[in-house]
Amino acid sequence: MSSPPAPTTFLSVRVTPAAGRDAMLGWQGDALRLSVAAPAQRGKANEATLRLLAAALGLPRERLRIVRGHTSRQKVIAIQGLDEAEVRARLGVARYAPTQSKAPVS
């Protein structure tokens, strides 16, 4: 009897390239906000995004791939071998609501 297939989780991310540092900034809705130091040229920011997430998840880089958004800041990453609950637990980034600007004080 064969073992069940490893789960694949799809994670929405919003990436800011050329940001000066690699960092996970938190959740905005259902998307994880990231910044990467690499520029958005010749796939450098995409590779930096995958390396940052792989390190945070404790997975080999080869277990992650971009399935949508190769040329956009909005991306969908496929993560092989972890279910959604485990991905969120390993990321350990607090979920937060989008910031709202305050009305000017008169």
Domain ranges of the chain: 8-93
Residue 9 has pLDDT above 60, yes or no: yes
Band (pLDDT 50/70/90 cuts) for residue 93 is low
* Tokens at 43, concatenated: 């796939």
Give me 102's structure tokens.
């305050």
Q: Is the pLDDT of residue 89 over 50?
A: yes
Given this structure, which CATH class describes domain 8-93? alpha beta
User: How high is the pLDDT of residue 103?
Assistant: 44
| Three-state DSSP state, 33 | strand
Q: What is the pLDDT of residue 78?
A: 97
Residues contacting 102, CB < 8 A, separation 6+:
none
This prediction's pTM: 0.82
| Mean pLDDT over the full length of the chain | 86
pLDDT tier at 101 (50, 70, 90 boundaries)?
very low
Task: Decide which of 103 and 64 is more confident.
Answer: 64
Report the candidate in 43, 50, 100 with the shortest Cα–Cα distance to residue 79. Answer: 50
Kindly give, in sequence order, each residue whose CB lies less than 8 Å from that of residue 27, ignoring residues fewer than 6 positions away: 33, 93, 94, 95, 96
Condensed to tens digits (0 to 9), the pLDDT of residues 24-76 reads 998 888 899 999 999 999 999 999 999 999 999 999 999 999 999 999 999 99
